[in-house]
Amino acid sequence: MNISDLQPWQTAVGSFLGLVAIFIAASLGFRSNRKRDEYLRQLEVRSIATALYAEIVMLRTYTAKMANLVARRYEDHGLGRHRDEPFDAHFFEMVPMPGAPIYAGLSPQIGKLPADLLLGVVQFHASYEEARYWLPRLEEKEDRGFSYGVLWVLHPALKAVEGIQPTLAAIESLAAISPPAEVPDLERAKSVASWEEEQWAEIREQRE
């Protein structure tokens, strides 16, 4: 066998080794791109979660303050169904419940959050908006013929403030946020809500 007989085999082996090298390089590049894409995705998730976190902490503070002031005003103006009118325009000026522009702006992106975080964030805003909706309706209206009790506001407010805590803790862990957000005091609001629930339970029993 002379050198001329080896050349075709050498060409074939060289081509095969070249293809293997290209395949290995492509595989390594694909894995590198996947790692880079995953890193960027996680970075985006943390950014979205952190922005929502900041707004929720602020709104939760507003909600807790509002709930306690509603409870205090209710106590000061007489408990029960027969009382004067504790809620008016001047009171509502003391308890601002702002909108949630960050949540609204990020609504197309929040689907990128993990399912547990997404559910917690959506539930918080649903409860917050419910409390925000009913708050001005506590004011007595002569043309309405009936009134709304404080539980229409206190129940969603308490749910918003207390229900979001596990989600906030999860975001703090995800984004390395320190120190953790403090849980607002709700003692007065919870006390009045409990009292009202007992009163309505007694009324229902009397009607049965």
User: What pLDDT digit, counting tens, does each position of 110-158 carry?
Assistant: 999 999 999 999 999 999 999 999 999 998 887 777 778 899 999 999 9
How far apart are the C-alpha atoms of 161 and 60, rounded to whole Å? 6
How far apart are the C-alpha atoms of 90 and 136, rounded to whole Å? 11
**Position 59 pLDDT exceeds 50:** yes
Q: Which residues contact 199 (CB under 8 A, 6 or more apart)?
A: 79, 80, 81
What is the predicted pLDDT for the residue at 148? 86
C-alpha dihedral over 143, 157, 196, 200, to 10 degrees? Answer: 70
Of 196, 184, 180, which is closest to residue 65 (Cα–Cα)?
184
Of 147, 206, 207, 167, which is closest to residue 59 (Cα–Cα)?
167
What's the whole-model pTM score?
0.78
- Pick 9 or 200 by higher pLDDT: 200
- What are the tens digits of pLDDT across the range 3-14? 555 556 556 655
- Pick 15 or 193 by higher pLDDT: 193
